[in-house]
A and B are shown apart, each in its own frame.
Chain A
């Protein structure tokens, strides 16, 4: 029996993240989906920006990977969830990686923490040598 607070999702899009151009394409896919689901302009922009940060991380730190976009429903609310997966070196110290300014590359170090701030839900799983999976979710304000 399904509880009205269960989250159901359906796959809306998938994208490889192995080039700069694919990051741009993902931004467009996410923007289109957010528009189609009726998110406000500011909600769209925050989610697309977070997606861009995480897509770049997947490419530059993860050695390339994939993104999956799902449309969710939970208790009558509509949400969007992006899952980023790579088989790269993984993150040894997640807490440190989440701190603003920490970068293992040449970036500003705002991508992970920033994405968390920009979205309603954020999860990260990563261990050294075992790749990284990050999800971000936004829920439409009723």
Chain B
């Protein structure tokens, strides 16, 4: 089965979405991420969407759900690289992605995740 690869960088998981995901693949990613957070006691997840030129309500919900599940598992989520036209469209669509922090790129996103590190 096709899967989006999830990479590990220290205590964090990084996902770079580079394909236009069909719905089933998005759900698989959500499940895989949740499972990996638990399995590896990850402190955070960074989702790189810089290659996505469309984010609709299904993908938006996948991102929100992932962040919510991560939070329950004491991990933070940061989304990076949102394209401007995607951001504009999400606002008009009415998708707020509340509870999901964003950053411009992977470097800034990792810095944001690490800020929360001291427990």
Contact = CB atoms under 8 A, between A and B. Distances in A.
Interface string A33-54: 0000000011011101100110
A65 B84 CA distance: 32
Contact of A108 (B22, B23, B54, B61): B61
A108 B20 contact: no
Contact of B85 (A20, A21, A45, A53): A45
B30 to A, nearest CB: 13
Contacts of A62: none
Given A45-B53, A113-B94, A118-B89, A107 B61 contact: yes
Contacts of B24: 20
Interface in A105-119: 107-108, 110-111, 113-114, 117-118
A51 B4 CA distance: 24
B31 interface: no
Nearest to B25: A20
A110 B94 CA distance: 7
Q: Main SS of chain A's interface residues?
A: helix
Interface centre among B53, B55, B57, B94, by most chain A C-beta atoms within 10 angstroms, is: B57
Interface string B31-53: 00000000000000000000001
Q: Main SS of chain B's interface residues?
A: helix
Interface stretch (A22-30, A85-93, A127-135): A22-30
A42 B85 contact: yes
A110 B89 contact: no
A74 to B, nearest CB: 24
Interface residues on A, range: 20 to 34
Contact of A28 (B20, B83, B84): B20
A107 B57 contact: yes
Nearest to B53: A45
Nearest to A20: B22
A100 interface: yes
A49 B89 contact: yes
A34 B85 CA distance: 14
A21 B95 CA distance: 24
20 contacts: A20-B23, A21-B22, A24-B21, A31-B53, A42-B88, A45-B89, A46-B89, A49-B54, A49-B89, A52-B54, A52-B58, A53-B93, A56-B23, A108-B60, A108-B61, A110-B95, A111-B57, A114-B92, A114-B93, A117-B92
Kindly list the 3 A-B residue pairs having the minimum CB-CB distance in the complex, ordered from nearest: A20-B22, A45-B85, A114-B93
